[in-house]
A and B are shown apart, each in its own frame.
Chain A
Amino acid sequence: NAGVMQNPRHLVRRRGQEARLRCSPMKGHSHVYWYRQLPEEGLKFMVYLQKENIIDESGMPKERFSAEFPKEGPSILRIQQVVRGDSAAYFCASSPMGTAVTYEQYFGPGTRLTVT
């Protein structure tokens, strides 16, 4: 059973470009979470999605950031017009049900975004 897959593992973008980060959850998991990790700041929640629905986007900046989890295909975190402050590691996690129950989350290896 393949784990959570993220691609690309490393992404370099110039300021002003768009970054697209992809996440394929574990087989049988229909709930996806995105986190951002910065040194000295730990892991910050961004958004929680189910298939075709955004459940909680309270941690996501209102501008330039968007996320989707379509009926078919991976979840995508999109960052438009990237700035240097967007440089971070972005992790995706999945669970078989939402955090309304007790399941732990399974994390992907992350995408390390560098904005030059």
Chain B
Amino acid sequence: AQSVAQPEDQVNVAEGNPLTVKCTYSVSGNPYLFWYVQYPNRGLQFLLKYITGDNLVKGSYGFEAEFNKSQTSFHLKKPSALVSDSALYFCAVRDGTGGYQKVTFGIGTKLQVIP
């Protein structure tokens, strides 16, 4: 069975500082990893994904994530946080081996950027 862990319920960071939102995963085969963002009363928006290739993935709004196979992690990062980045962030994983596999989402991490 596959799973995702987002160990922090909330992350607080000052505007202009770098931010990190943590994610670890567990799958039997090759991990396909995703980050989504949810603003209040909205649906989830896709930010970035890792399928294969370069471990550092760049996505929307200046976000990036680093795939670390040995630590089974896929942390989301941004060099300089904006107040508008405040939202709920979800990490997701699916097993890339074989045919259909559903996507498993983490419980989300609330990011609060303080002006």
Contact = CB atoms under 8 A, between A and B. Distances in A.
Interface of A: 4, 6, 33, 35, 40-45, 48, 55-56, 58-59, 91, 93, 98-100, 102, 104-110
Contacts of B41: 109-110
Contact of A99 (B46, B102, B106): B102
B43 A109 contact: yes
> Dominant SS at the B interface?
loop
8 contacts: A35-B105, A41-B107, A48-B100, A56-B102, A93-B44, A99-B101, A99-B103, A110-B42
B17 interface: no
Interface residues of B, number: 24
A99 B104 contact: no
B115 interface: no
Contacts, number: 62
4 nearest A-B pairs in the assembled complex, by CB-CB distance? A42-B107, A107-B43, A43-B105, A107-B44
Contacts of A106: 46
Contact of B100 (A35, A41, A45, A56): A56
Given A45-B103, A56-B100, A91-B44, 9 more contacts: A42-B106, A42-B107, A43-B44, A102-B32, A102-B96, A105-B46, A109-B41, A109-B43, A110-B42
Interface of B: 32, 34, 36, 41-46, 49, 51, 90, 94, 96, 99-108
Contacts of B94: 99
B100 A43 contact: no
Given A56-B102, A102-B49, A4 B43 contact: yes
Given A43-B44, A110-B43, A105 B103 contact: yes
Q: In the complex, which of the residues B36, B41, B43, B96 has the most CB atoms of chain A within 10 Å of its own CB atom? A: B43
B107 A55 contact: no
Contacts of A48: 100, 102
